[in-house]
Structure 1
Amino acid sequence: MIATLKAVEASQLQLVEREDIDDEEDLFESIDKLISAGINTGDVKKLQDAGIYTCNGLMMHTKKNLTGIKGLSEAKVDKICEAAEKIVNLGYITGSDALLRRKSVIRITTGSQALDELLGGGIETSAITEAFGEFRSGKTQLAHTLCVSTQLPANMRGGNGKVAYIDTEGTFRPDRIIPIAERFGMDPAAVLDNIVYARAYTYEHQYNLLLGLAAKMSGEQFRLLIVDSVIALFRVDFTGRGELAERQQKLAQMLSRLTKIAEEFNVAVYMTNQGCNSKLFSFLIFP
């Protein structure tokens, strides 16, 4: 029975590349389209070097931030934004159009039927899901399970996509992925190959890793970003009440970046946090 399941899934669990989702409407427009709109190739390269790979992502930046990119003047930024606005419609749409967009949202199973029901079907793409609770309450274990379930095909309540994992506390254990993959009848080696992992050591490093994800997500199909945990490095890098305001500002920028990634690339963002006295952990979902 297990051998049959593995044989069936072997043909199903091949992660699709961009050409395999031709039936879906493109969720984002490549930044390269600016070239055909009259923008200099060199200026487009400067945007990519700054971590901007889609027109959608470009429109999520303020002009102040864009002029901060070396080599881009205010006049160039105005011209770039004007060209991007013609490619991407970020203005008003009808409720019917909004409903159609919501149909692209995927709910990824957590591997637990009871937890899926609690979350309305699983972890949602285009949204942030935060699990918070005491140490050893299962937050990281769920992250490991999601690394596998995200790679399941849609008919098995998966996301049929890759996973990006940012580890701020050194808790990622690839050996724990193996039994979870076997439980779902998947090839552990293939599952591990479809997880891109990075260890962050400072809050600045953590933010820069998020900026670097744009290049990967614009070229490959990702469905999940894990940050475990989101605030650990902020507790270390900022101390005392005197730095509280700066810490909150930097944390807000981090959360804003996570929200933009979720919406720009239609990925689920799962982040953990320690901040609950209960032995059970809770969830917050930011659509």
Structure 2
Amino acid sequence: MAEVTLEDLDHVGPATAQKLRESGYNSVEAIAVASPTDLSLSADIGESAASKIINSARRSANIGGFETGDLVMERRKQVGKLSTGCSEFDEMMEGGIDTQSITELYGEFGSGKTQIAHQLAVNVQLPNEQGGLNGSVIFIDTENTFRPERIKQMVQGASEHHNIDYDPEEFLKNIHVARAYNSNHQILLMDSAMELAEESKNWEQPVRLLIVDSLTAHFRAEYIGRGTLADRQQKLNKHLHALQRFSDLYNAVIIVTNQVMSKPDAFFGDPTKPIGGHIIGHTATFRMYLRKSKGDKRIVRLVDSPNLPDGESIISVTPLGLTNP
């Protein structure tokens, strides 16, 4: 689809194309999966014209029509697997974390969510034969959790594991970090992420992993009380759909971490549940619950998946990264 430009679409002239690009719609595929309302506001055109542009983009990008199951199966073959570096964890996920999907990691403070995110930011840069995707990373940091020092330690661990002398500085250059200062800024950063991923198509290591750590922290802090719940959920829903769109367009892994809240009325089982309610529950493709165990061990439980059975695996969080216990 590279040869089809925005100007090739019906009802798009040079001025409209310029406005669309300025709003982050840099490709035909990005327009094909946009909503008429968003496009209308971005390009300052009527919703009717926006719908026509979207339909033209869908025809050009071959998106949005019905297709038979065998074609879906063929497209599913493009889904990549990103290794966690822990054999039991990878086995539970049938080879690793999927591209074209959102994987949610939730658990209490210190349960290992950010550690897994950092480890995947290293692993995604490895070649395919070492469980990576030969790609670069976008890290949206909402709680000031990104630590370059930790990346260096994990690169050292990868060097020892694969017996190859990797350069930590090169790994850090392939991680693009943005600090989100509030929920609006967090949502806006997705536009910048789209632009960066589009630009990265020409790089040696295009963007194949996007991390949001944590997805819900700002929403939880800013929307307090039941009266704000509807607004919060609506914004969270829009944000999650932007993440899903990103994963589909760039065949990328999306990792979001999530906080938990306690359920004091729970008499049986674990008295914690993830923030965000049904919106995240329905949008995340894979949901994993992390909890502490003895010493450096963490238990990862696959709670929800469209095609895998529920399961548990144990990992160790060591100074050199995630390892088998």
The equivalent residue for 2:58 is 85
Q: In structure 2, how many angstroms separate the alpha carbons of the residues matched to 1:178 and 1:86?
A: 45
Please tell me whether the aligned partners of residues 166 and 200 of structure 1 are also in contact (alpha carbons under 8 angstroms): yes
Q: Confirm or deny that 1:131 pairs with 2:105.
A: yes
Please tell me whether the aligned partners of residues 105 and 126 of structure 1 are also in contact (alpha carbons under 8 angstroms): yes
Among 68, 86, 93, the residue aligned to 1:119? 93
Change (3 A) 1:131 1:74: closer
1:57-206 → structure 2 map (5 Å cutoff): 57-74=30-47, 76-90=49-63, 91-185=65-159, 186-206=166-186
Among 208, 212, 217, the residue aligned to 2:188? 208
**Partner letter of residue 145 of structure 2?**
T
Q: TM-score, normalised by structure 2?
A: 0.75
**Partner letter of residue 7 of structure 2?**
I
The equivalent residue for 2:8 is 36
Q: Report which structure shows greater RCO (CA 8 Å, sep ≥6).
A: 1
Q: Confirm or deny that 1:255 pairs with 2:240.
A: yes
Change (3 A) 1:284 1:194: farther
Q: In structure 2, how many angstroms separate the alpha carbons of the residues matched to 1:153 and 1:45?
A: 37
User: Offset of 1:204 from its aligned partner?
Assistant: 0.4
Change (3 A) 1:30 1:69: farther
Provide Cα deviations, 1:39-66, integer angstroms capped at 9, x if missing partner. Answer: 3122112112222222222122221221
Q: In structure 1, how many angstroms separate the alpha carbons of the residues matched to 2:152 and 2:142?
A: 22
More helix by percentage: 1
Please tell me whether the aligned partners of residues 105 and 257 of structure 2 are also in contact (alpha carbons under 8 angstroms): yes
Please tell me whether the aligned partners of residues 107 and 124 of structure 1 are also in contact (alpha carbons under 8 angstroms): yes
Please tell me whether the aligned partners of residues 90 and 96 of structure 2 are also in contact (alpha carbons under 8 angstroms): yes
Q: In structure 1, how many angstroms separate the alpha carbons of the residues matched to 2:115 and 2:304?
A: 19
Q: In structure 2, how many angstroms separate the alpha carbons of the residues matched to 1:127 and 1:78?
A: 26
Among 51, 56, 65, the residue aligned to 2:29? 56
5+ unaligned residues in a row in structure 1: which ranges? 1-28
The percent of aligned pairs where both chains have the same amino acid is 37
More strand by percentage: 2
Please tell me whether the aligned partners of residues 180 and 186 of structure 2 are also in contact (alpha carbons under 8 angstroms): yes
Provide Cα deviations, 1:258-277, integer angstroms capped at 9, x if missing partner. Answer: 11111111100001112274
Among 173, 178, 198, the residue aligned to 1:218? 198
5+ unaligned residues in a row in structure 2: which ranges? 160-165, 201-205, 262-271, 273-290, 293-298, 307-325
CA RMSD of aligned residues (A): 1.9
Please tell me whether the aligned partners of residues 32 and 44 of structure 1 are also in contact (alpha carbons under 8 angstroms): no
Q: In structure 1, how many angstroms separate the alpha carbons of the residues matched to 2:212 and 2:305?
A: 15
Please tell me whether the aligned partners of residues 137 and 209 of structure 2 are also in contact (alpha carbons under 8 angstroms): yes
Q: In structure 2, how many angstroms separate the alpha carbons of the residues matched to 1:190 and 1:264?
A: 26
Q: TM-score, normalised by structure 1?
A: 0.84
Q: Secondary structure at the match of 1:212?
A: helix
Q: In structure 2, how many angstroms separate the alpha carbons of the residues matched to 1:100 and 1:57?
A: 22
Please tell me whether the aligned partners of residues 6 and 27 of structure 2 are also in contact (alpha carbons under 8 angstroms): no
The equivalent residue for 1:237 is 222
